[in-house]
Amino acid sequence: MRQTLTSRITEIREPYHFVDEMQKGAFKSLKHIHEFEQNGNKTIMKDTLYFEAPFGLIGWIVERFVLESYMKKFLEHRIEELKKIAERNK
């Protein structure tokens, strides 16, 4: 399922941390925290995602049984693709 959302960076501490939050989209709420840490000559990126599905109890059930797994796989894939791009452009 393809979704479009509008987000805004709501917090930034360059170059270590930034937060983007959904302004418009399919979720009731979505907050994405990006943290960067230097480890020798490598950069470690940690993503933390908080989200809440709409539609009350039905949304909660979908969130627990479908969305949690889907969003985890989505972020893991996205991180792998970003890593490939970053390493290719050295």
Q: Is residue 80 part of a domain?
A: yes
pLDDT of the residue at 47: 93
Predicted confidence (pLDDT) per residue in 6-64, tens digit? 999 999 999 999 999 999 999 999 999 999 999 998 889 999 999 999 999 999 999 99
Q: Is residue 59 part of a domain?
A: yes
Please give the tally of structural domains in the chain: 1
- 3-state DSSP helix/strand/coil percent for the chain, to nearest 5? 35, 40, 20
Asked if 33 contacts 19 with a C-beta cutoff of 8 angstroms, the reply is: yes
Residue 25 burial (CB < 10 Å; 0-12/13-18/19+)? middle
Q: Is residue 47 part of a domain?
A: yes
Q: What is the band of 90 on the pLDDT scale with cuts at 50, 70, 90? A: low
Residue 64 burial (CB < 10 Å; 0-12/13-18/19+)? exposed
Q: Is residue 1 part of a domain?
A: no
Q: What is the band of 83 on the pLDDT scale with cuts at 50, 70, 90? A: confident
- Domain span at residue 22? 6-88
